[in-house]
Amino acid sequence: MPRTVEDTAAHISRQFSHELEKVRTHMLRMGGQVEKQLGDALRSVAEHDSQLAQQVIDDDVLIDRLEREIDIECSLIIARRQPTAGDLRLVLAIIKAVRDLERIGDEAARIARSALALAEEGEDPVDLGEFHRMGERVLAMVKQVLDAFARMDTDAATAIADEDAEVDNDYHGAIRSMVTHMTRNPESVSVVLIVLWAFRSLERIGDHTNNISEHVSYMVIGVNLGMGRPLPKK
């Protein structure tokens, strides 16, 4: 029996939904890989693990490849399906989110490079307690924003902004501590600079995580909260 117009439309709609869910799942898998990369990078610093640090650096190409693949998938969906309204916002949010995820992967690789440099110094030449605490906060933010994206949870997403503000405060406090240490221990200048670059990467990861939280809000309610616009009344 030949298909009716209604049958064809329903088939196309199911195919479209499948494509959207596939690319969304692909993006979340990329997010999981990025979260693992960051966790491994932080562990490589804490444990002076050069082998793990090198693995994080080597695996950064995987993150880059995933970004390209997802970007192509989204471009094909736009070209073939010409999505509108919520579907279009979903695709655009994914395109933007994977770019931020790729940059988080880059920063994780930079932290791993810092771990390699610090491992050559042997025992921690400076107190890294602040770094580890800030790293735990940032890693939790990445997990939280990925969960928010998966659940389309705008409340969880908007809470990321407060966490990012705390990360910024941690970063500025760390700079002060490192400068004080450097002033009192001039021989530690080169090592302190390595640690400061690692702190800088954590601060940038916080920024990119906050960007993703804004993409979640845009995807769900069509408002970019990063532009300072209030949530619409329910």
Measured distance CA(24)–CA(14) in Å, rounded = 15
Q: Which amino acid is at 115?
A: A
**What pLDDT score does 84 carry?**
77
For residues 74 and 91, the answer to whether their CB atoms sit within 8 Å is: yes
- Mean pLDDT of successive 10-residue segments in the chain (234 residues)? 48 71 92 97 93 96 95 90 84 94 97 92 75 95 95 91 93 91 83 92 96 92 59 40
**What pLDDT score does 133 carry?**
94
Q: How many CB atoms lie within 10 A of CB 229?
A: 10
The CA distances from residue 151 to 16, 28, 84, in Å, are 20, 11, 21
**What pLDDT score does 229 carry?**
45
Q: Which residues make Cβ contacts (< 8 Å) with residue 180, sequence separation at least 6?
A: none
**What pLDDT score does 102 carry?**
97
**What pLDDT score does 189 carry?**
83
Q: pTM of the entire structure?
A: 0.87
Q: How many CB atoms lie within 10 A of CB 36?
A: 13
Q: What is the dihedral of CA 195, 198, 200, 201, to 10 degrees?
A: 180
Measured distance CA(101)–CA(68) in Å, rounded = 12
Per domain, the residue ranges of the chain are 5-227
* Domain 5-227, CATH homologous superfamily name and number: Phosphate transport system protein phou homolog 2; domain 2 (1.20.58.220)
Q: What are the tokens at 53?
A: 């640090």
